[in-house]
Amino acid sequence: MKSSKIVTTAMVKTELLPLTSLRFISAFWVFLFHVNSRWPLDLPGPIDNIISQGPLGMSIFFILSGFVLGYTYFNKEPIRDYRAFLIKRFARIYPVYILISILTLPFLVIPQVGADAIGTIAYLLTYLLVVILNVFLLQAWLPSLFNYWIDGGTWSLSVECFFYVLFPYILFVLKPLSLDRLKKLLLIFYILSLIPGLVFISPLVPKVLFATVYALPIYRLSEFIIGVIIAIIFITNSDRPAAKSVPDRYKLVLVTIGLLTYLSIYAKAVPQIYVIHNFVAIPAIAAIVYYCASISKGYLYRILANRTFVVLGKISYSFYLVQSIPLLFIETNYRMLVQYVPFIADRYLLAFAIFSITLLGSAITYYAIENPLRKFIVKLI
């Protein structure tokens, strides 16, 4: 299949700093959702509506992941060195994941049915099964496990692993396509991203599980592929003369304001299943990722490329996982903790305390574990 596009230069010259910062913004949105869903902050309606859609931060992660991988590997051949590609992905996510899994293992609670020998054996085998599925990052394929242990926070890693396994083949198929064909595929995968939400609100009986349409990897694949496609379009357009139009930084502001305005009004106007907003959220998030990658000057760029913001982006993966420790601990022991630390009865102070603990813990985890072990594993294997 011949392509009508010509890419002449190696595009990956420098890190796209605004995208690194966007990772933390997404993680922080998810964090606010997790805190607010446990200890409502009684925020003004529009703000509460936006925070209530924090799970859309996962769509940002998936589209961003596809974009960054597509951008990084466009001039490489990951399909030829498949093993090396997977090792790098493994080294990136697994060490911190295992650490947080071990630290949160005491919070794995599985109801025991019966006190007889058979019931005890069934309980232990179920416990073991859940642990094994999580160790091998298969939990997202079993939606009924969504609320056990930290599946509510780590299902996305199971989804990402599915993406990683497929990515070299996805890039191999998409890379030769013309710009026109990529745009048509973009529309097709956008339509596919709408199906899970539509199935959930349909009158089908029995009702499909929330976790199925929200967390099943195959249902989120379209978002990842959209990210890969817009990365290829971004690279292709970067080799073309710039057309006179509205600067990308203004487009970024307009799209972001548009998405937040929509969510502030309509977030709870439909059944509380986050992917139902995909008809607005997916194109908006794809545009935000694209324009974040495109900007290279101006006040907004200086904010998103600020050293502090970029560092927060680098530790965002650890931040996303580490938050589960204070959240689970405080949620489990809240009444006792209020007696000894009365100020956390104020939910704003509680949220700030959890944020501070998470931020400190994630910084330590990144610099002491995530980054060193990633380099060590890649070098060793």
Task: Return the structure tokens found at 358.
Answer: 């998470």
Q: How far apart are CA 164 and CA 171, in angstroms?
A: 11
pLDDT of residue 149: 83
Distances (CA, A) of 183 to 127, 171, 256: 46, 15, 22
pLDDT of residue 242: 59
Is 251:298 a contact under the CB 8 Å cutoff? no
Listed residue (371, 303, 228, 363) closest to 20, CA to CA: 303
Listed residue (37, 153, 32, 64) closest to 103, CA to CA: 153
Is the Cα torsion angle 201, 206, 210, 212 positive or negative in sign? negative
pLDDT of residue 237: 86
- Which residue range forms the structural domain that includes residue 275? 17-81+167-380
Q: How far apart are CA 71 and CA 10, in angstroms?
A: 10
Q: How far apart are CA 210 and CA 215, in angstroms?
A: 8
**What's the structural domain count of the chain?**
1
Cβ neighbours of 344 (radius 10 Å)? 18
Asked if the structure places residue 255 within a domain, the reply is: yes
pLDDT of residue 34: 95
Amino acid at 151: D
Asked if the structure places residue 292 within a domain, the reply is: yes
Reduced to 3 states (helix: H, G, I; strand: E, B; else coil), residue 196 is helix
For residue 316, give every residue at least 6 positions away whose Cβ sits within 8 Å of its Cβ, in sequence order, or none: 23, 24, 26, 27, 362
Angle at 322 between CA 321 and CA 328, to 5 degrees: 100
10-residue mean pLDDT profile of the chain (381 residues): values are 44 77 96 94 93 94 97 91 92 94 88 73 87 92 85 89 97 95 97 92 85 92 98 87 74 96 90 85 97 92 94 96 95 92 93 97 96 92 76
Q: How far apart are CA 64 and CA 98, in angstroms?
A: 23
Asked if the structure places residue 123 within a domain, the reply is: no
Asked if the structure places residue 225 within a domain, the reply is: yes
97, HSE (Cβ side, Cα atoms, 13 Å): 21
For residue 308, the Cα-to-chain-centroid distance in whole angstroms is 21
Token pair 């990842």: residue: 224
Is 225:70 a contact under the CB 8 Å cutoff? no
Asked if the structure places residue 132 within a domain, the reply is: no
Listed residue (298, 281, 184, 186) closest to 231, CA to CA: 186
pLDDT of residue 57: 93
Asked if the structure places residue 367 within a domain, the reply is: yes
Asked if the structure places residue 86 within a domain, the reply is: no
Asked if the structure places residue 366 within a domain, the reply is: yes
